[in-house]
Structure 1
Amino acid sequence: MTAMRVDVKVVMLGKESVGKTSLVERYVHHRFLVGPYQNTIGAAFVAKAINIGEKMITLGIWDTAGSERYEAMSRIYYRGARAAIVCYDLTDSSSFLRAKFWVKELQTFEEHCKIYLCGTKNDLIEADRSMRQVDYHDVQDFAEEIGAHHFETSSKTGNNVDELFIKVALDFSNSALELMRDEKGVDLGHKKDSYFYACCHH
């Protein structure tokens, strides 16, 4: 029997240099690139399919620019997103304030988008506890308040990265029939491989 195909638009949001691109690299390519990344301009797109039971969940991941000067552009990319991974740097308290900004944006303009809060660079905290600037319990309380899931990850070690994206896929696997009813204009069985592997920036 052919697996039911469910396509899910996922957007990565967060302050510049929190590690959004590193998360995507670790999840999709199983690697951590050492050295400074070139800042994302606009957004980069990549997709990955996961088989869950009789369903094939394809996550179309938009990695958006974190710089505030690209804020208006990021709004274009999160339109219609079913899931948003809102990232903050565990060693930078200002990045969590920025994450709250994006949560408010999503609640205002994309109220049906599921939110996943993601603390990055956990390996730095493991190496030196004094580097933590964002309290776990504060974020967990915020996550419960907004109905979001909360992960602390490390792209360097891979800790919790697969778990984060698999949780997104599982959530939409469980609601696949609801998605099919909601997205009447989308043929979930239509082959769109050329689209899924298109990318506007590396």
Structure 2
Amino acid sequence: MKLMKRTILATTLSICTVLAFGITHQVTAKESSMDINSYKEKKVNKEVKQQIIGNYLQIEKSDDGLEEYVLKTKKKNNALKKSNKEGIIATITFAEPLDFDEVKSYIKKHKLEVKQLQSRAKVDNKRITLSSIYNKDVEKAVEYALEGLEEEYENKNVEFVGYTDMYVIVNSKEIDDIEADSHTFLLDASADSHFIKENKKYHPHALTWLLEDLKEE
């Protein structure tokens, strides 16, 4: 009877009471609201990621299909140039793999905030993507990754090809110079919140694999 009265009182005070194995855990209305918000955020993030992946999968895997995607993306970039926006979520795919000095120079030149840097390695001509959070130790991290590949694929030829693409944060005033850079194949900001309102952190898919596939044909 006492337990029932406590439960009724807790409900009246907008407190959820949970009984499990004889232990009473009270979840406040504030905590319950946080759980709901967390669920909503996860749902939105899932939908955003699906939309970004869907945009990539819709690219026709041909020279014409790639060219069409590039033109559409550059039109979106033109809209961003006029917006005077900062903190744009973007992905830069390089025209050719770069060495680390070239990457550092490129980043400095365009004042980029780099979130992640991707590079290409090959094991007996099988392509492998190495992803690294960009910081002062990124070059060493890639070296460790290559050493790990050599250990994992013992007696096979491990080759480092170069840095291929990166996730960045840019400002609209930098877009023209980035697009004009000979190292740039495409600056893709199509997933930015200017176009996908709910997106706060996810970057467009890089075009590295598609570029490589088309070059091999």
TM range (shorter): under 0.3
User: What TM-score do you get using the length of structure 1 for normalisation?
Assistant: 0.27
Between Structure 1 and Structure 2, whose CA radius of gyration is higher?
Answer: 2
User: What TM-score do you get using the length of structure 2 for normalisation?
Assistant: 0.26
